[in-house]
Amino acid sequence: MAALAYTGGKREINYYFSVRSAKALALGAVLLLTACHTASRRYRGGDTCEYLLSSGRFLGEKVWQPHSCMMHKYKNSEAKNCLIDKHVVFIGDSRIRQLFYSFIKLINSQVKEEGIKHGNIPFEDKSASIKVDFLWYPEVNGSMRQRIKSWTEGSVAKPHIIVVGAATWSIKIHNGSNEALAQYKINITSIAPLLEKLAISSDVYWVLQDPVYEDMLSESRKMITNEKIDAYNEAAVRILNSSSRNSKAKVKVFSVSKLIAQETIMKSADGLHLPESSRDTNAMILMNVYCNKIMKPIDGSCCQPQPPLTLIQKIAFCFFTLSIFGYLIISLIHRNNYRKNKTCTDLESGEEKKPAISTPNVSTVEMLLHCFCKLGLIMTYFYLCDRANLFMKENKFYTHSSFFIPIVYILVLGVFYTENTKETKVLNREQTDEWKGWMQLVILIYHISGASTFLPVYMHIRVLVAAYLFQTGYGHFSYFWIKGDFGVYRVCQVLFRLNFLVVVLCIVMDRPYQFYYFVPLVTVWFMIIYATLAVWPQIVQKKANGSCLWHFGLLLKLICLLICIYFLSYSQGAFEKIFSFWPLSKCFELNGNVYEWWFRWKLDRYVVFHGMLFAFIYLALQKHQMISEGKGDPLFSNRVSNVLLFISIVSFLTYSIWASSCKNKTECNELHPSVSVVQILAFILIRNIPGYVRSVYSSFFAWFGKISLELFICQYHIWLAADTKGILVLIPGYPMFNVLVSTFIFVCVAHEISQITNDLAQIVVPKDNSTLLKRLLCIAGFFSGLHFFSAMQDQSRH
């Protein structure tokens, strides 16, 4: 009964919720969300600087998350580059002095708070010609007004950034009297026009007063209450910018510090001054407000304007637009012809006759336009998610629960969709799809949860990436060894399926090829496998069956490959010279050099070789009938199977213990290329030695495995955000619901792109050699044009 209910439940789900209906629902969700976000930005405003200065929340205890955008964590070198030749002034009381010190520590972390408490404090970084001054003006009075006025008169050099704020001294000195508040209003009214005048050419920030922790205040400060502070803040907000009609002459109100203080003031040493972590957060917000538009950090979306369209992006937009219109026109013509021919009347009898052809034939051009039409709409969604400032973005924040709980969920779903395999061979197609599927889902959870900060998880994910490359070596070696097909058609099909989506994204999202590092990695390894086996003498299984010497010849080839890998991995100079030649340099450079490519290649340098060697040994054992692959049968004899299972489990656990004891990524990454194969082989043996385990697979994981490449690439822009540095926010305020909706759309898009790629592969890479040659010439022309426009684009940028 339980089995029947289980099977019936799966059938009900599959009947009522098909892939097609899911995609229609995803399309509706995208249109609705786009309309909502567009309306929200139009009526509520979409200035992320305003959000950064006024709203946000804590992720955990120390990580501040601004509303709707991402905050970059500036290093000393980045802060210097941004503020080079700049003059920054902080004016106010002891709270502003604290902010001043936190700010200059972003420029020079060695600075100590040793200045005069009630006096001016200068700071200068001569290497970058940066001046930052603190001016002691604890009250908003005539003295402060005179100092500010001096910058508005004559040819006096104006500071580039002015940060002002004061009130607590007025409350303290005048014992919180209403007369002091009235005078404060008069004084700030006289200063406001001067600040607004300075704001035309400088960035001017008025820092609102943070709340206090009244229970901790000393007796001399008891009159500083939160009620009084709120009154002073209300007066400042009401008066500032009240006379300004010019949007450029606005004083920016720094109110976010109030929100930060509300959460952290309890940790204050005296109830008045913020703890150091909160001051540092405020300083980092200031740096983001000013520097993001200058430095344009990938993970700093706050205050960044939408990047202008490049020449290549404009051409791509025109191409997709023409494809959409072309497909609509052809579809209308075909539909119109079909309606005319659907029924015709016999003039003699007056009866309707059916035409000889009942449905119109879909031409290659129409199919091509249909694919590009769908792809154009999908790429529009990509651009809106990660280039246009339409949808929101947030920083990642890791907790153990955010990683491990989703892992448990997908494990339960994977077990629920367990079915019998069609064949029971080791690493059969269903099993490898399942393997790719669950690995991809774990990697996705790893990325969205920000689990790379937790070293044991990082090391296990590195094994999963290595396992993908192991399958690359195993799968391609097995195909060439068994089939002996080294034709151009096979090579072009594989290269097209691997690279099509990435090439389109490089154009639409204006990113280099190496940015999507995994695709270049599997592409190069495929070409290495092909070259190793295709070069003379070509040794395949059919030829090797005639003589054992051919097996030694193949092993000799593999040994030569291993020597080359070893040499390149320890000769960075030789590796970089190879990939620095044009046109390889255009593909593998990132930020002007190929170091990132060398690092990625070196990290898993042996695992593809291990996959090839495993495939050779496995196929040899299979050929000589030394393993049993019958349904329900163990792979070896019971004794051998038990010993191998025990060794595999111990090896698997040993690696996990070692990964958990790693001290830093550098040390672990050095050992990873040599030891990752241990856990991969252990998993293969555990998964395949027991006959029952080998005879079943999870169709849930296998479904995801079939689109694993598309999932891996699409996550960069429509599930994560800011090129994987953050998280896409479609539904703000509801993190769990947002992840569910964005995941649903993301998976549907990845599946549709997989189908588009398969359809285009049949058109672009035909089996006929003469036609294929013509298509290859067209592709060469396309890349030549792309290189020409890229050169024009680079020239215009410089």
Half-sphere exposure of 713 (CA within 13 A, CB side): 31
Show contacts of 560-568: CB within 8 Å, 24+ apart.
Answer: 561/528, 561/532, 561/609, 561/612, 562/606, 562/609, 565/605, 565/606, 565/609, 568/601, 568/605
To which H or E segment does residue 418 belong?
strand 418-420
Tell me the backbone φ, ψ of residue 254, rounded to 5 degrees: -90, 85
Q: Residue 531 and residue 454: Cα distance in Å, rounded?
A: 39
Calculate the dihedral angle through the C-alpha atoms of 403, 409, 411, 415, rounding to the nearest 10 degrees: 180
Q: Which two three-digit tokens encode residue 58?
A: 């804590």
Q: Residue 288 and residue 312: Cα distance in Å, rounded?
A: 30
Q: Which two three-digit tokens encode residue 365?
A: 């051009």
Question: How many Cβ atoms from other residues are within 10 Å of residue 78's Cβ?
Answer: 17
Please, which residues bridge with residue 394 across strands? 727
Half-sphere exposure of 350 (CA within 13 A, CB side): 0
Instruction: Give the active site residues.
Output: 94, 270, 273
Q: What average pLDDT does this structure show over 307-326?
A: 94
Q: Which amino acid would we find at residue 239?
A: I
Q: Residue 225 and residue 234: Cα distance in Å, rounded?
A: 14
For residue 350, name the pLDDT band (cuts at 50, 70, 90).
very low
Q: Residue 563 and residue 565: Cα distance in Å, rounded?
A: 5
Region for 202 from its dihedrals, namely left if φ exceeds 0, alpha if ψ lies in -120 to 50, beta otherwise: beta
Question: Any idea what the Cα angle at residue 114 is, between residues 108 and 116, rounded to 5°?
Answer: 125
The whole-number pLDDT of residue 634 equals: 92
The residue with tokens 């199977």 is 641
Q: What average pLDDT does this structure show over 176-197?
A: 94
For 157-174, what is each residue's pLDDT tens digit?
899 999 999 999 999 999
Closest of 644, 712, 685 to residue 461, by C-alpha: 712
For residue 796, name the pLDDT band (cuts at 50, 70, 90).
confident
Evaluated on CA atoms 319, 321, 327, 332, the torsion sign reads: negative
The residue with tokens 């439940």 is 9
Query: Strand 87-92 vs strand 161-165: parallel, antiparallel, or unpaired?
Result: parallel
For 672-683, what is each residue's pLDDT tens digit?
999 999 999 999
Has residue 508 got a pLDDT over 90?
yes
Q: Are 283 and 102 in contact (CB under 8 A)?
A: yes
The whole-number pLDDT of residue 16 equals: 55
Q: Which two three-digit tokens encode residue 427?
A: 């690493």
Evaluated on CA atoms 557, 563, 564, 566, the torsion sign reads: positive
- Give the strand order in the sheet containing 203-207: 121-125, 130-136, 87-92, 161-165, 203-207, 252-254
For 73-118, what is each residue's pLDDT tens digit?
999 999 999 999 999 999 999 999 999 999 999 999 999 888 788 8
Q: In 249-399, where do the E strands start and end? A: 252-254, 344-345, 352-353, 392-395
Closest of 102, 138, 103 to residue 117, by C-alpha: 138
The residue with tokens 């529009």 is 380
3-class secondary structure, 544: helix
Has residue 357 got a pLDDT over 70?
no
Q: In 472-627, where do the E strands start and end? A: none
Closest of 616, 610, 535 to residue 565, by C-alpha: 610
Tell me the backbone φ, ψ of residue 136, rounded to 5 degrees: -80, 100
Q: Are 231 and 217 in contact (CB under 8 A)?
A: no
Q: What average pLDDT does this structure show over 121-125?
A: 95
Helix axes 607-623, 518-534, angle to 10 degrees: 50
Q: What average pLDDT does this structure show over 573-594?
A: 88
3-class secondary structure, 379: helix
For 233-285, what is each residue's pLDDT tens digit?
999 999 997 765 555 558 999 999 999 999 999 999 999 999 999 999 999 99
The whole-number pLDDT of residue 412 equals: 96
The whole-number pLDDT of residue 344 equals: 47
Has residue 3 got a pLDDT over 90?
no
Q: Which two three-digit tokens encode residue 659?
A: 């990964």
Question: Any idea what the Cα angle at residue 267 is, between residues 265 and 269, rounded to 5°?
Answer: 95
Q: Which two three-digit tokens encode residue 110?
A: 């060695």
The whole-number pLDDT of residue 352 equals: 43
Q: Residue 148 and residue 153: Cα distance in Å, rounded?
A: 10
The whole-number pLDDT of residue 342 equals: 58
The whole-number pLDDT of residue 701 equals: 97
Which residues are CB-neighbours of 76 under 8 A, at least 6 positions away? 106, 107, 108, 109
Evaluated on CA atoms 647, 649, 652, 655, the torsion sign reads: negative
Q: Are 259 and 251 in contact (CB under 8 A)?
A: no
Has residue 15 got a pLDDT over 80?
no
Q: Which two three-digit tokens encode residue 713?
A: 């690439």
Structural class in CATH, domain 50-295: alpha beta
Q: Which two three-digit tokens encode residue 600?
A: 């990625």
For 360-384, what is each residue's pLDDT tens digit?
456 888 999 999 999 999 999 999 9
Q: Residue 18 and residue 11: Cα distance in Å, rounded?
A: 11
Give 726-767 as a DSSP string.
EEEESSTT-HHHHHHHHHHHHHHHHHHHHHHHHHHHHHHS-S
Q: What average pLDDT does this structure show over 127-137?
A: 96
Q: Where are the domains of the chain?
A: 50-295, 364-389+399-765
3-class secondary structure, 165: strand
Q: Are 596 and 517 in contact (CB under 8 A)?
A: yes
Q: What average pLDDT does this structure show over 488-508?
A: 97
For 735-783, what is each residue's pLDDT tens digit?
999 999 999 999 999 999 999 999 999 999 999 999 999 999 999 999 9
Q: What average pLDDT does this structure show over 420-441?
A: 95
The whole-number pLDDT of residue 447 equals: 97
Residues in the chain: 798
For 692-741, what is each residue's pLDDT tens digit?
999 999 999 999 999 999 999 999 999 999 889 999 999 998 999 999 99
Q: Which amino acid would we find at residue 333?
A: I
Q: DSSP 3-state helix, strand, coil percentages of the chain (rounded to 5)?
A: 65, 10, 25
Half-sphere exposure of 326 (CA within 13 A, CB side): 17
3-class secondary structure, 273: coil
- The DSSP call for residue 118 is T
3-class secondary structure, 516: coil
Over the Cα atoms of the chain, what is R_g? 33
Give 216-266 as a DSSP string.
G--GGGTT--HHHHHHHHHHHHHHTTSS---GGGPPEEE-HHHHHHHHHGG
Q: What average pLDDT does this structure show over 498-507?
A: 97
Please provide the average confidence, as pLDDT, over all residues in the chain.
91
Half-sphere exposure of 666 (CA within 13 A, CB side): 0
Q: Residue 93 and residue 475: Cα distance in Å, rounded?
A: 69
To which H or E segment does residue 87 belong?
strand 87-92
The whole-number pLDDT of residue 48 equals: 86
Closest of 770, 778, 723, 719 to residue 496, by C-alpha: 778
Has residue 797 got a pLDDT over 80?
no
The residue with tokens 């329900």 is 632
The residue with tokens 């991402």 is 70
Q: Which two three-digit tokens encode residue 193?
A: 């026009």
Tell me the backbone φ, ψ of residue 88, rounded to 5 degrees: -115, 135
Q: What average pLDDT does this structure show over 551-571?
A: 94
Question: How many Cβ atoms from other residues are within 10 Å of residue 240's Cβ?
Answer: 22
Q: Residue 561 and residue 613: Cα distance in Å, rounded?
A: 11
| 5 compared with 398, residue with greater pLDDT | 398
Q: What average pLDDT does this structure show over 334-362?
A: 54
The whole-number pLDDT of residue 246 equals: 54
Has residue 434 got a pLDDT over 90?
yes
Q: In 277-350, where do the E strands start and end? A: 344-345
Question: How many Cβ atoms from other residues are within 10 Å of residue 36's Cβ?
Answer: 12
Show contacts of 619-624: CB within 8 Å, 24+ apart.
Answer: 619/478, 619/481, 619/482, 619/541, 620/551, 622/425, 622/426, 623/541, 623/545
Q: Residue 460 and residue 451: Cα distance in Å, rounded?
A: 11
